[in-house]
Amino acid sequence: MLTPNRGLKVFAVFLSVGGFSWAAANALQQEQRLPSLVKDSESMTLQGTLEPMQVLRQHRRQVLQTILASLPSYKQAKDPDKYCLYLLDQKYRQLPMHLSSHYLPLQTLLNDIQAAPDKETLFHILSKAAARGRPNPFLQLRVAPGLKINRYQLYILGPDLSLRVGNQPWRNQALLTDRKNKIERWFNNVQIDNLDKDKVATWVAWEEHLSQFLPPKQGPIGQEDRVKSLDLKTLPQNIRQQMPANIQSKGPFLVIGEDTLAAYGHFLEKAPLEELKSYALYFYQLFYAPYRSRQERLLIDPLVPEGTGEYSFLKRYGRPSFGRLYQQKTLLTIDKAKIIALTNQMKTVLLTRLQDNTWLRAESKKRLQEKILALRVEVGAPAGKAEIVPSLSKKSLIETVSFLDERRWQAAIALLGTQVNRSAWITGGESLNAYYDTLRNSVFYPAAILSYPFSITREDKGTYYGSLGTLIAHEMSHALDAHGFNYDKWGNFNPLSAKDRISFAKRARQVNHRYQQYGDAIGKKINSEQTLNENLADYTGVRIALIALNKDGQANRERNQRFFTSWLSLFLQKHSVKENHDTYIHSPDRVRAIAPLLDLKEFEEVFFTTIEDRRYRRFEEKPILW
């Protein structure tokens, strides 16, 4: 349990060591007197305390380790999820130490690529591989909810890349360099008959060139004006040639940047055949490296926090079974009814705020209220049971991976043209991240994140609303952030009037300026464009949760203090290492903790005890968004 005193220590240490300047934050006089709270608490430290997010991560690690250790005992389990994971785990454990027949299924594809006499033949080979669920180095295809219709559509996203960190390639140089080094080390330590190892640097450079034909993001959100719907016949010829035969009649297809796709087609037309073939050989060798031998797995294991290829493999091919097992292990800490009830409270507050809104047109207010009412909530893990595939036990790991990829691709293309399932999860129950899905107007709370500090059961409303309450309100607020604001209750892109959009943008800039102002004051640089939506969700979410807390009319300083210290403790931690690096969508932790609170009179009443203190946090006109 997070005590109020511990939370005060967190706040005090932050202010005493963070280099905060009230004058800089407020553009006031060059006075540097700190609030009396800080002056009295400068000697306090966090040493010896258990930090809430540390506890959360440790608990998740323990649950994952328990699941992995239990897998051999699932052999006779009647639970389909357990038996499915047992089969996958056994196949992964059977990886040979060195290359063997496990490699042969891949060799056929590599031989075909090497023998291709022309580009048309090469692209035909790649399209046949893609029809079976294998990746295509030159063409990413993704089935996802349509942008403007409540149906699944196929997105064409340009080349696939091995040198990709999450969904943001080429942004973080340190991570990119580390990945390059892993690739070169792998090629230098394995025996491959049909590859020239001296070309590794050339292939890496080739990928860097290919990256220019990727959309800035992997999905349409935030790029709505660049999304075009194209028929098969309007695609560049060398893109058409790579489209699998089983989807060619499923158009129209969505592309992000028609001009970028045209430029990419021109590049493929001019690229020498031998270079295309060489890169394709490199790509497939690298993709299947973790599934060939234990020796190679250790060299180029996928980058996962737990550092186990086994976990990465099971998460990729055993989801959602893995997530459901995680939920079973943590069931006692998850009270779904309580989470739903708290979500409904936050909905009520937000609906009231929308009703009282003074800068939206009546029609727009009604539409946004309908959206909040229609917002779905999913808790724990995806529903359902695993489909047992007995043939898994008869295949090598590469064959197993290819078999499962083909099944997954067939299931995906079967969705094309059908109505979007708003309950479909992107992650599993083991994910340490709650999220709002814009294209489904749904919010998801995986089992993994619903442990301490978000599983507080004690009747301490202040602490409860400051942790789980703010988490729920934050995710819900994404429905009304700079992206969500332009989507309707079905998750379709359907912008409000130009006047409403201008009014929203003005207020969003004011909120973001507050974060920028505060970040500058403590020496934390913020990419305000990249962090905008998370800043808005924090700024709105804290307010919604605080209003919900005090809605019973029993607001008091002590309870609000527990609310704020609970929120602050999530970010102001001694071991916090999160910074605003190139791919991070949140503001730095210290900014994220304090910036949403500075305009709240309740925060002022708790932490700024004198009139002299208060004048140091006064800003100009407070931004009011929701």
Tens digit of each residue's pLDDT (9 = 90 or more) over 185-208: 777 776 665 566 677 778 878 888
Final residue belonging to a domain, choices 292, 324, 354: 292
Predicted pLDDT of residue 126: 96
Q: Using the predicted structure, report yes or no on whether residue 333 has a pLDDT greater than 90.
A: no
Percent of all residues in the chain with a pLDDT value above 70, rounded to a whole number: 79
Predicted pLDDT of residue 99: 59
Q: Using the predicted structure, report yes or no on whether residue 183 has a pLDDT greater than 50.
A: yes
Weakest-pLDDT range from 224-233, 352-361, 521-530: 521-530
Q: Please, which residues bridge with residue 363 across strands?
A: none
Mean pLDDT over residues 174-184, rounded? 73
Single-letter amino acid, residue 252: P
> For the segment 388-430, what is each residue's pLDDT rounded down to a tens digit?
776 776 677 888 888 889 999 999 999 999 999 999 999 888 8
- 441 and 361 in a common domain: yes
- 45 and 103 in a common domain: no
Does the residue 63 lie in any domain? no
- 591 and 514 in a common domain: yes
Hey, is 204 helix, strand or coil? helix
Single-letter amino acid, residue 47: Q
287 vs 12: which has the higher pLDDT: 287
Question: In this structure, what DSSP letter does residue 102 have?
Answer: G
- 465 and 600 in a common domain: yes
Whole-angstrom distance between the N-terminal and C-terminal Cα of the chain?
A: 31
425 contacts 444 by C-beta, under 8 angstroms:
yes
Question: What string of H, E and C letters represents the secondary structure of 540-608?
Answer: HHHHHHHHHHHHHCCCCHHHHHHHHHHHHHCCCCCCCCCCCCCCCCCCCHHHHHHHHHCCCHHHHHHHC
Q: Of the spans 315-324, 330-339, 368-377, 521-530, which averages the highest pLDDT? A: 368-377
Return the exposure string of 549-588: e unless at least 16 CB atoms fall within 10 Å of the residue's CB, then b: bbeeeeeeeebbbbbbbbbbbbbbbeebeeebeeebebbb
Mean pLDDT over residues 229-238, rounded? 94
Mean pLDDT over residues 339-362, rounded? 93
Does the residue 249 lie in any domain? yes
Cα angle value 544/547/549 (rounded, 5°): 110
CATH number of domain containing 249 = 1.10.1380.10
Predicted pLDDT of residue 211: 84
Which residues span the domain enclosing 583?
1-49+334-381+428-626
Does the residue 75 lie in any domain? no
Please state, rounded to an integer, the average pLDDT across all residues of the chain: 80
Predicted pLDDT of residue 458: 57
Q: Using the predicted structure, report yes or no on whether residue 543 has a pLDDT greater than 60.
A: yes
- 288 and 346 in a common domain: no
- Which pairing describes strands 253-256 and 152-156: parallel, antiparallel, or unpaired? parallel
When pLDDT is cut at 50, 70 and 90, the band that residue 459 belongs to is low
Predicted pLDDT of residue 30: 25
Euclidean distance between CA atoms 536 and 591, whole angstroms: 13
Mean pLDDT over residues 434-439, rounded? 95
568 vs 498: which has the higher pLDDT: 498
Domain tally, the chain: 2
Cis peptide before 236 (omega within 30 of 0): no
Does the residue 6 lie in any domain? yes
Does the residue 416 lie in any domain? no
> Which residues have C-beta within 8 Å of that of residue 472, sequence separation ≥ 6?
339, 342, 343, 346, 443, 445, 545
Predicted pLDDT of residue 50: 52
Euclidean distance between CA atoms 155 and 491, whole angstroms: 17
Q: Using the predicted structure, report yes or no on whether residue 4 has a pLDDT greater than 60.
A: no
- 113 and 13 in a common domain: no
- 489 and 612 in a common domain: yes
Cβ atoms < 10 Å from Cβ of 124: 16
Final residue belonging to a domain, choices 292, 315, 345: 292
E strand or H helix that includes residue 379 = strand 376-380
- 29 and 118 in a common domain: no
Predicted pLDDT of residue 175: 65
322 contacts 85 by C-beta, under 8 angstroms:
yes
16 vs 168: which has the higher pLDDT: 168
Predicted pLDDT of residue 35: 39
Mean pLDDT over residues 215-235, rounded? 90
187 vs 614: which has the higher pLDDT: 187
523: left (phi over 0), alpha (psi -120 to 50) or beta: left
Final residue belonging to a domain, choices 292, 324, 344: 292
Does the residue 199 lie in any domain? yes
Mean pLDDT over residues 30-50, rounded? 34
- 243 and 122 in a common domain: yes
Predicted pLDDT of residue 518: 78
Predicted pLDDT of residue 301: 56
Does the residue 525 lie in any domain? yes
Q: Please, which residues bridge with residue 227 across strands?
A: 256
- 110 and 6 in a common domain: no
Does the residue 408 lie in any domain? no
- 356 and 224 in a common domain: no
CATH number of domain containing 495 = 3.40.390.10
- 458 and 353 in a common domain: yes
Q: Using the predicted structure, report yes or no on whether residue 92 has a pLDDT greater than 90.
A: no
Q: Using the predicted structure, report yes or no on whether residue 12 has a pLDDT greater than 70.
A: no
